[in-house]
Structure 1
Amino acid sequence: MKPENLAELSDQDLLQKIKKMKNNKIIDAVIIGFTIGIVVYSAVKNGFGFFTFFPLILTYIIVRNSKNNKILETEIQKELNSRNVK
């Protein structure tokens, strides 16, 4: 979502987006922990191989996406602050 689109949204919509993004952070953290657990278990059980590192690809995608979400969250927070909405 681009910042000019944020200006078109209502205060309630922006607050819902912030809440949804905070929930997504928790879900992302759980998935990252789960995939790292899979990598450790797989490395201990079967040694290193393609399927040992495959979950790390998913982890990389989630981390990269969370960086984009953090930028978007900052923009939404700036918009809310400009509207004096807490």
Structure 2
Amino acid sequence: MKPENLTALSNEELLKKLKNLKTDKLINATIIGVTIGIVVYSAVKNGFGFFTFFTLVAAILIARSFASNTILEKEVQKEIASRNLQ
């Protein structure tokens, strides 16, 4: 969602969007932690192989999504502050 579309959302939709972004943030952090744990375990147990790097690439892609969601969350928080919502 682009930041200019945030102004078109109602107050309830905006608060719901912020709640969903925070939930997604927690889920993404958990998935990143698990995948990094799998990479470390796989590297120690079996050495470096295709699946070790494949899992690492998946963690990097999730981290990119995590970063874009963080930026969107900041924009939503700015919009909420501009509307004086809580």
TM-score normalised by the chain length of structure 2: 0.93
What SS is found at the alignment partner of 1:85? coil
**Deviation sequence 1:25-76 (CA, Å, 0-9, x none):** 1111111111111111111111111211111111111111111111111111
The percent identity for this pair of structures is 62
Structure 1 residues 14-53: aligned runs within 5 Å:
14-53=14-53
5+ residue gaps, structure 2, are none
- The CA RMSD measured in Å over matched residues stands at 0.9
Q: Which letter maps to 2:61? A: I
Q: Which letter maps to 2:34? A: F
> How far apart are the structure 2 equivalents of 1:56 and 1:67?
17
What SS is found at the alignment partner of 1:48? coil
Q: Which letter maps to 1:27? A: I
1:61 aligns with 61
Deviation (angstroms), 1:8: 0.7
Deviation (angstroms), 1:3: 1.8
Q: Which letter maps to 2:71? A: I
What SS is found at the alignment partner of 2:9? coil
- Write out the 4+ residue segments of structure 1 that deviate beyond 2 Å after TM superposition: none
